[in-house]
Amino acid sequence: MHGALLLAAACTAAPTLDHGSSRANILDLFAHSRDTARVAALTGLTRRRVQQVVAAAGLSGRERLLPLHPRFNDIVNFEVTRHGANYGYKMLLGVLKAHHPDWRWPREAVQAALRAVDPAASDARRSWCYRRIQRGAYHAPYFMYSTHIDLACKLQEYRIFVAVAIDGRTRFVHSLTALMNKLPVTVYEEFVAPFLAADALPDQIVTDKGREWYVAAFVCLLLARRAGRAGGRAAHRFVPSTRNTPVERFNREVNMRVLVHFRRLINFMEENDLLDKNDAQEVHAFSSVATPLVQAGLDLLKASWNQHSIAGRTGCPGTGGIPAQRAARDPHPGGQLVLPPNFDGETAARVATVTMKVADEMDDAIAQHDILDVVVLEPADEAMGCGTSKPGLTYEEKLELWRKWGGGDLERVLASGAVALLDAQWIIRHAEAGGVLTHRQALPEEAFLSFADLVEATIGYAEWLPVAALSYPWLTKDHPDPRGANLARVARALKALLSHPYITRLGVFWDFGSLHQHPDPPNGVLRTDEQNALFKEGLGCLGTLYSHQHTWVLRLTSFPDGHKAEDQAEGTNVAKYFDRGWCYTECSWAGLTKAGHLSLDLGKMRAGVEYSYGSLVDDCTEDGGRRPPLLPSAFAAELETKSFTNGKDDKPLVKRLYEAAFEEQFGKATKLVYAGLGWGDAEAAKLAEYLEVDNTEQPELVAVCEERGIILY
């Protein structure tokens, strides 16, 4: 209290100090602030003068103000034993500063004591950090600009999960929480809500696409909407795990500094028949006992991490330092959203069920559940301009976003009428009415989306275009889906996609309804010359449409129930999806540089399941479902084994289109991410073939195969 009053007095007092009292005042101020620059500002003296006074008194820094602990080696020994040998000297320094802040812990002495106590611990980072996720470029102007959260699930078979929340800029750990399950409500109530109540809502929370984050995501979006901030930067963002690197990197710390000890305990118990992971009662009992112990280890890790020094990234000044100090230096400017009183996870889950299906009824649903208005923490200095809401984007701003995600590549064929995109909502309504798709010329105007509709549906914080291309085998020579069976399957998938809050409209390329067709070939009714020209123009754009990094590709890789090849008329192509030339080509295009979640295998959908967006993506990307991209020469060789309805006539065209798309997409790519695909050495070798093609401008390959630990650059 004396120090605080002294600092306050210095702030209001005249800067001129008499010679007799200045030295004592300087030393007294320095004893409490431990910052020569601040003391200089408070006293009106130069920093050099303050440093001279401090040095003359033998107090050249904060450490010398504190005494050495009389039981120095004993304390180091105790903390090494308590935290384990995987804490190196930097983390041990963080431990000592966090738990023994009133004593001095010189780095050299701590290192020497650590080597004496446990030589292996002094080199802990070198011994187990053999693989690190590369962080890459990262922008965050202040603390809590983005908070990254994830679950470490190394012990999920034993009902032990660790939830992590870490600040993107400062690497400050907000929360480490041990959980016994990862149900969305549990994750929200036991992990997300407590840390939001303590620290307020960050500008943006970033998670992977796991279902466990649904309630947390809904709460973030709900608070933003209620505060009038639905436009602009999203309060929550789903990203692939490979792009959630700040927290993915930290998971390694959790695994090696805390969970590894419980893994050894589990191994011992299983070897001695003390634990059977297939016995639900035993697992529950073990989890009930172990989870609080895991939490104790996590509390130690959090305290030491926030007080230890992190090395900065090469060439990026200001990225290193002690997380707690960095958070204090770059505080959030204010204007944060906080949870309203009595806002519980069950209420959030109930409201989410309603509002995800009927977004327009959001306000009514909120009123029905008595959710209070959110509170906005405004900064003390209103001139900072923080906390103001952003209006919705204008058409011109959305057009800029459309082109940012590469929509300009499709504008020519959309403007000419060579390609018309079907409205996903119309497809769903038509399928539910028992309809059958007719050729483009016979479809009503309301079946299509205009270019303006597509621009309006573009979302800034969702890195995709509102465009999906369907890849499927025609069932007969003259009609791709005469019974409407495939229409119903596609509508089911589209309904799940549209359940995502960021997908409001979706334009679907379906060749039969999007390109000009021969209206009635058996009776000689064919395309006009003008329609023929547009048809050929549309074919020329297929490579871009399917290979584009930001379009969806929906692949019907199986025939509908009841379709039998032996029942088809003579001349019908009865080959399966992967044996057909056009299907093989479309699948190869989709496998070039597109993110895995944008290429969905609808053949993996399960009968009788009512899909949400997340469950659809999970099922339709199971086992990766993707090969390494093929060089044009390899593609052409494999194409010779595929069948076309029109014989070999389409093969030269398809080869040209594939080569053009290959060069277009890899020419644009700056980073390629292939992770979670189940690839092995053979696939890595295939990928390396491309990397050797052009050594002058290779894309950065972040991860070839996460499971096998293969990293290529």
- The percent helix, strand, coil of the chain (3-state, each to 5) is 50, 10, 40
Angle subtended by helix axes 47-56 and 36-43, to nearest 10? 120
Question: Does 423 share its domain with 454?
Answer: yes
pLDDT category, 154, cuts 50, 70, 90?
confident
- Residue 395: count other Cβ atoms within 10 Å of its Cβ: 10
Question: Does 319 share its domain with 430?
Answer: no
Domain that holds residue 27: 2-65
- Model confidence over 323-355: pLDDT tens digits? 888 887 777 776 665 555 554 444 444 444 433
Burial class (CB in 10 A: 0-12, 13-18, 19+), 184: buried
Arithmetic mean of pLDDT, 410-419: 94
As given in the structure block, the two tokens for residue 320 are 């290193």
CATH at 275: 3.30.420.10
Whether 631 is in a domain gets the answer no
pLDDT category, 288, cuts 50, 70, 90?
very high
- Model confidence over 192-235: pLDDT tens digits? 988 887 777 888 899 988 888 988 888 888 877 766 665 556 78
Question: Does 332 share its domain with 466?
Answer: no
Cα–Cα distance for residue pair 114/75, rounded to 1 Å: 11
Question: Does 88 share its domain with 220?
Answer: no
- Per the prediction, the chain carries an average pLDDT of 77
Whether 365 is in a domain gets the answer no
- Residue type (1 letter), 435: G
Question: For residues 549 and 423, is the Cβ–Cβ distance under 8 A?
Answer: no
Answer whether residue 65 shows pLDDT above 70: no
Q: What is the CA radius of gyration of the chain?
A: 31
| HSE-up (13 A, CA, CB side) for residue 343 | 25
- Model confidence over 27-48: pLDDT tens digits? 777 665 556 777 777 777 887 7
Whether 110 is in a domain gets the answer yes
Cα–Cα distance for residue pair 419/542, rounded to 1 Å: 10
Three-state DSSP state, 239 = coil
| Residues above pLDDT 90, as percent of the chain | 29
Question: Does 100 share its domain with 41?
Answer: no
As given in the structure block, the two tokens for residue 572 are 């019908």
Whether 52 is in a domain gets the answer yes
Question: For residues 180 and 263, is the Cβ–Cβ distance under 8 A?
Answer: no
As given in the structure block, the two tokens for residue 488 are 């119903």
Whether 368 is in a domain gets the answer no
Question: Does 407 share its domain with 550?
Answer: yes
Write the Ramachandran bin of 228: left for phi over 0, alpha for psi from -120 to 50, otherwise beta. Answer: left
Arithmetic mean of pLDDT, 648-657: 84
Question: Does 85 share its domain with 24?
Answer: no
- Model confidence over 545-577: pLDDT tens digits? 999 999 999 999 999 988 877 667 776 778 889
Question: For residues 175 and 159, is the Cβ–Cβ distance under 8 A?
Answer: no
Question: For residues 560 and 486, is the Cβ–Cβ distance under 8 A?
Answer: yes
For the ranges 74-78, 450-454, 695-699, the lowest mean pLDDT is seen at: 695-699
Cα–Cα distance for residue pair 189/22, rounded to 1 Å: 54
Whether 86 is in a domain gets the answer yes
Question: Does 522 share its domain with 417?
Answer: yes
Q: Specify the pLDDT at position 708.
A: 38
Angle subtended by helix axes 651-668 and 529-540, to nearest 10? 50
Q: Is the dihedral of CA 40, 44, 46, 52 positive or negative?
A: negative
Helix ranges (H only) for 457-580 are 485-497, 511-514, 529-540, 542-547
Question: Does 318 share its domain with 428?
Answer: no
Question: Does 50 share its domain with 86?
Answer: no
Spell out a b/e string for 647-675, using b for 16 or more CB atoms within 10 Å of the CB, else e: eeebbeebbebbbebbebbbeeeeebbbb
- Model confidence over 357-392: pLDDT tens digits? 433 333 443 334 333 344 444 443 333 333 323 345
The residue ranking higher by pLDDT, 585 or 671, is: 585
Question: Does 95 share its domain with 226?
Answer: no
- Residues sharing a CB contact under 8 Å with residue 54, sequence separation 6 or more, in sequence order: 26, 27, 30, 36, 60
Cα–Cα distance for residue pair 206/259, rounded to 1 Å: 24
Q: What are the backbone dihedrals phi and psi of residue 228, each rounded to the nearest 5 degrees, phi first? A: 75, 30
Tokens 């277009």 -> residue: 664
For the ranges 7-11, 321-325, 544-548, the lowest mean pLDDT is seen at: 7-11
The residue ranking higher by pLDDT, 262 or 312, is: 262
Q: What is the 3-state secondary structure (H, E, C) of 95-134?
A: HHHHHCCCCECCHHHHHHHHHHHCHHHHCHHHHHCCCCCC
Say how many domains are in the chain. 5
Question: Does 60 share its domain with 101?
Answer: no
pLDDT category, 249, cuts 50, 70, 90?
confident
Whether 661 is in a domain gets the answer no
Whether 325 is in a domain gets the answer yes
pTM exceeding the 0.95 threshold for the entire prediction: no
- Residue 482: count other Cβ atoms within 10 Å of its Cβ: 13
Answer whether residue 279 shows pLDDT above 60: yes
- Residue type (1 letter), 32: H
Q: Specify the pLDDT at position 373.
A: 41
User: C-alpha distances in angstroms, 532 versus 469, 539, 624?
Assistant: 21, 11, 38
Answer whether residue 522 shows pLDDT above 50: yes
Q: Specify the pLDDT at position 236.
A: 85
